[in-house]
Each structure stands twice: as C-alpha cells, then as structure tokens.
Amino acid sequence: MEDGGALGAGQGGLPAASRSALRGPAVRRLLALRAGKGLTAGHVRVAADALGVSERTVWRWLAAAGRDEAAADEPGARAQTGTRFTITPEVRGLLALWKGNVRAVHRELVLRAARESPPANAPSLTTLHRAIRRDLTPGERAGLAGGERAARKHDVFLARPRGWRNQVWESDHLQAPVLVEVEGRARRPWITWFTDCATNAITGVAVTPVHPSRESVLSALRSAVLREEPYGPFGGLPEKVRVDRGKDFLSRTVTAAFDLLDVTVEDLPAYTPHLKGTVEGLNRAVETMFLAALPGYARQPRPGKRPSRPKDEVLLGFEEFTARLLAWTSWWNTEHQPAPLRGRTPLEAWQDDPTPLRDVPAADLWTFTLEDAGTRTLTTRGIRFKKRDYVGAWMTGQAGIQVRIRFMPHHDHRIEVYHAATGRYLGPADLADQATDEQVRAVRRARAARSRRLKKELEAVQRERYAAVNQPAAPQLLGALTTAQAEAELAETAGTGLSQLAMPDVIPLTAPPADWRTPASLAALTTPAPRPSGRDVTATAPGRPDACIPRPPTDKDGDAS
C-alpha cells in the first residue's frame, strides 16, 4: 500500500482535464477488483488522491456504476433532467441555408415554433450555440458555413514519403494574379510548370500571356526534361506525373508524348488538390513570396467588388515579367530552403541524390512532343495542309513522295515533315505567301468589329493564342495567315459600314422628257419613261420627285407662244 500511496501522491499534480479523463478507467478498475473480492479501502483512497476527489465521491461513483453500467463510462457526469436539445437534420439544413449564421437559424426556429399549433418552445440562442459545439465537429461547422473547401482545412492528411528524384513530378496551370501589358492590353498571364516531389525543385516552366493549351504543357515538358543550358541541372525523364483532370494535360498529343517517353500519367480525382500538395504549395508560395510585390498585383476581390489599383501604376511588359519569374525560379531552386528539406536547397537535395537520370536527346524530345497530322503527297506547290501550302528549301526534286506531317499545336506557321515509309526526318516547311503583320492586324480588327455587331463575346468567338516561352522574349501571337486569306477576309468585311450599307438606287429615277437637255451620264442612270400627252401636263425634275415644273404652252405648229 505504501507504493500505491506514493503513486497516488505523484498523480495528484495532473491537470484537471487529465484527471477527468482518468475517472472512467479508474472506476472500471475498482469495479473489477470488487468483482474479484479484492477491493479495499486503500484502493479507493489511492484512486481518490489520484483523481483529486474525496473518497466518498469515489464510493458514490462505484454505487452508481453498480446500479447502471453506463454510469462507469462518465463518472460524475451531470444527470440529464429532461430532453436535451440536439442538432437535427432540420437544423443542419438551416445552418447550410444561412451559411453558418447561428443567429439567423435561431430566428428561423423561433418563427417555426410560433407557427405550430399549439405553439412550441424554441431553444434559446445560448442552447443552440452549445448544441452546435457539442454535436458538430469543427470540420462540419466550417463545411456548413463555407462549403467543402473550408471543411477540408480541418481534415487530417497523410504525408507521402519523400522518395527519390524524378520518381514523381506534379504539374499544374496557375493564372498569375498580376496584370501584365501585352500589346497595349492588361492581361493576367498563365504559368505552367513541373515540380519534383522529392526535392521540391522546379524542373520546367512555361509562360503564356493568355489561356494555356496543350502547347504550353509540351513547352514546359521540354524545358523540364532537358538538362542542357539554360534548363539544367534539373531534368531527365520522371517515372510518373500527377495531373488533376486538366483537358490540356489529358489531350491526345500530350498523353501520346508521355507514352512515347515511358512516363506514367496519374489522373487525380476532381477537387482533390491535397493529392498533389507539392505543386499546390508552390502555387501558394509564388504568390506570397514573389507576385504580391510586383506592380499590377490584383488579388481576387470579394464577390461583387472590382479590383482596384492606382491609376498611374506602370505595368510590367510580358518579356520583363517572364524574366523576373525565371529569376525567382532560379532563386527557389538554388537558394531557398523549403521546410521539408530541413535546411537544404532543392539543388543540394538534387545533387545529394544518387538516383541515375534518364536523358532524351533534344531532337528526339522535339519529335515526341509534336502532334501527328497524317500523310500527304509532296507536290510541285509544296505540301497541302489545312487548305494552305507549305514549302521548304529541301523539297527541290522531291515532288511526288509521300510524307508524314507533325506540328506544334497552334504554331501553324511551320510544320515538320518526315518520310512516310522510313520515318526519316526531311526538314521543316514554312507557310507559303504568309501575310504581313499589318494584314494580320487588319484582319483581327475586322474580326473584332464583326463579333461586336453580332453581340457575342470576343473570347468565345476568337481566342487569341500566344506561344509559351522558357526564356525572356516578346509575346508572339500565334495564328498565321496567307496573303490571300487576309485579303479574302478583309474583302468580306469591306462595305459593311452604315454609310456603305445605304442603297440610294433601289428605286430607279424616272427619265426626263425627250426635249430636255440632259447630260449623258445622268440619262444613263435613269429608265426611259413614256412621253406624257396633253398640253398642260407637268414634268418631274430628275432626282426631285417633289419638284413639279409646268411645261410652256405651244401653238399648233409646236412653237412656244
């Protein structure tokens, strides 16, 4: 018993929460001793000292547990004197309807109770708060107020093992919350990048002034795989790439490129950003650590509010924005020390990993990331593709052979040509008779005017696409036109102005009388009219139907009197 007393004295210093948690196990242990006829007053004394209560209280708990076994689960719990208010499905629905506003839910419950016959008693606001805290978890409360995304903040997620370099990459698109000047217009550019999950290194990145496409993914993939300058030292082929059901990542061209490179694509379920936490963490980090300090930073405003920025703010050009982003990417890879790496930079983690790398020659990688367009016959006019002719210097003396076309999506100014039978690369072919920049701009202005007249959104009718870049460069607008195409489209839009739509010659003018001196140019524009009979008939002036001129009287010989 001396040992038991010493143990009890030591446990007496436990916090109140710990003592309350030990009540149930202690009472159940005493009940077991009593069932075996080994319970003594010393056991009760030690338990009372450890739990910070009197011996009489412990004996009372044992008596209550003897009458009701459920009392041993929560010894000393306050007995319920009546029906306790609980959160019903109706209350949960009201909480979801009012977005977690407890006071609004209470008002609704009071109104519903008053409409019942006879009137029922509604819970007080304090009771409702207490029931919500007791019956709903923090995640449920957050979810009813803010939706599934808010509820996920209270979930517990497992951390994946770090793995080795190039074991798994993650990729994503990010629309930068920064306004950048692109050909005189303020736009929010898009960033497409790949990151290595083991080292947190950014292996490849591509930037587009407008919406990204499969071309952005292929451009970022090339910069990620290549390890030569200026892309190294990160790179090589990964074993797996995680994406989140993006149509650009799952397009036929991109999936075919991954298959040819022997890379497994893991298509994650929708609305599960936690399954690719490395790239999602990078998306959050680039905004707080880099983008927020740039001019033109436009954080997403609250619903119903428009973003505001200083009127005299000078925006960055697309080329300068790309240069700064690539500089920040280099800093992230070589100087920043992410917390999961424990004091190491991504470069140091990459160099410390002895895993061998799988490299692909640049020429082969370029071929893998092109889209196949089938076979064509090389004629004396070149290669016919999308109703346009493409020519190259290497085509001399090659007319009549069968070739296979591969091209970069949206880069329709050039195609890559391969021999259809052997697969040997023959060379590039450029668009013949390509329109000048002035013609292209004129065509685009005409297209925009036509779209406004039809009251359609410009982005829905014609989406401008820009080439993704891996190095600082001016924005390159994609969508090549031939001179004939530009002139034909401009001809269609010519004469559509309101002044040119007027048709004054719909009703032809009546010809003047034969004895009038009418210019030949005006007479050719009129239709002949019969000569009126009678002496005092009026004639209509040409072009003036409202002006009537009386004819002079004549004698029987026809001379004017």
pTM for this entry: 0.61
Residue with tokens 């040409």: 542
- Tell me, what's the pLDDT at 352? 93
276 and 415 housed in the same domain: no
233 and 344 housed in the same domain: yes
- Tell me, what's the pLDDT at 11? 44
315 and 179 housed in the same domain: yes
- Tell me, what's the pLDDT at 174? 92
Residue 49 lies in a domain: yes
Whether the CB-CB separation of 175 and 190 falls below 8 Å is answered with: yes
Q: How far apart are CA 445 and CA 452, in angstroms?
A: 11
End-of-domain residue from the set 431, 455, 481: 431
Which residues in 100-256 belong to E strands, given as ranges? 168-175, 180-182, 185-187, 190-196, 202-208, 240-243
130 and 44 housed in the same domain: no
Residue 198 lies in a domain: yes
User: What is the per-residue DSSP string for 65-119?
Assistant: HHH-GGGGTSTTPPPP-SPPP---HHHHHHHHHTTT-HHHHHHHHHHHHHHSSSP
Whether the CB-CB separation of 199 and 340 falls below 8 Å is answered with: no
End-of-domain residue from the set 307, 322, 352: 352
Residue 536 lies in a domain: no
37 and 131 housed in the same domain: no
Q: How far apart are CA 129 and CA 93, in angstroms?
A: 16
What CATH number should be reported for the domain holding residue 403?
2.30.30
pLDDT beneath 70, residues of the chain: 1-13, 78-82, 300-310, 410-411, 435-436, 439-440, 442-444, 447, 451, 454-464, 493-509, 525-561
Whether the CB-CB separation of 294 and 315 falls below 8 Å is answered with: no
Examine residue 75 and say whether the peptide bond preceding it is cis (omega within 30 degrees of 0). Answer: no
By the 10 Å C-beta count (0-12 exposed, 13-18 middle, 19+ buried), 190 is classed as buried
**b/e code 295-324 from CB counts within 10 Å (16+ = b):** ebbbeeeeeeeeeeeeeeeebbbbbebbeb
- Tell me, what's the pLDDT at 431? 84
User: What is the per-residue DSSP string for 45-61?
Assistant: HHHHHHHTS-HHHHHHH
Q: Which helix (H) or strand (E) holds 403?
A: strand 402-407
Q: What is the pLDDT of residues 193-246, one digit of tens each?
A: 999 999 999 999 999 988 888 888 888 898 899 888 777 789 999 999 999 878
411 and 445 housed in the same domain: no
Examine residue 356 and say whether the peptide bond preceding it is cis (omega within 30 degrees of 0). Answer: no
- Tell me, what's the pLDDT at 543? 43
Q: How far is CA 353 from the centre of its chain?
A: 34
How far apart are the two ends of the chain, measured CA to CA in Å?
158
- Tell me, what's the pLDDT at 333? 94
Angle at 481 between CA 477 and CA 486, to 5 degrees: 120
Q: What is the pLDDT of residues 507-522, one digit of tens each?
A: 666 777 778 877 777 7
Q: Of 364, 152, 376, 365, nearest to 275 (Cα)?
A: 152
Structure tokens at 64: 């209550």
- Residues 6 or more apart in contact with residue 510 via CB below 8 angstroms: 526, 527, 529, 540, 542, 545
Angle at 329 between CA 324 and CA 334, to 5 degrees: 125
Residue 406 lies in a domain: yes
Examine residue 230 and say whether the peptide bond preceding it is cis (omega within 30 degrees of 0). Answer: yes
191 and 326 housed in the same domain: yes
How many helices (H) and strands (E) are present in the chain, helices listed first? 20, 18
223 and 276 housed in the same domain: yes
Residue 534 lies in a domain: no
Whether the CB-CB separation of 340 and 198 falls below 8 Å is answered with: no
Residue 530 lies in a domain: no
What CATH number should be reported for the domain holding residue 289?
3.30.420.10
- Tell me, what's the pLDDT at 142? 92
Q: How far apart are CA 390 and CA 47, in angstroms?
A: 93
423 and 453 housed in the same domain: no
214 and 282 housed in the same domain: yes
110 and 255 housed in the same domain: no
Q: Can you give the residue range of the structural domain that contains 344?
A: 168-352
- Tell me, what's the pLDDT at 98? 93
End-of-domain residue from the set 449, 482, 498: 498
268 and 323 housed in the same domain: yes
Residue 359 lies in a domain: no
Structure tokens at 8: 């009890």
- Tell me, what's the pLDDT at 308? 61
- Tell me, what's the pLDDT at 545? 44
Number of domains in the chain: 5
By the 10 Å C-beta count (0-12 exposed, 13-18 middle, 19+ buried), 558 is classed as exposed
Q: Which helix (H) or strand (E) holds 416?
A: strand 414-419
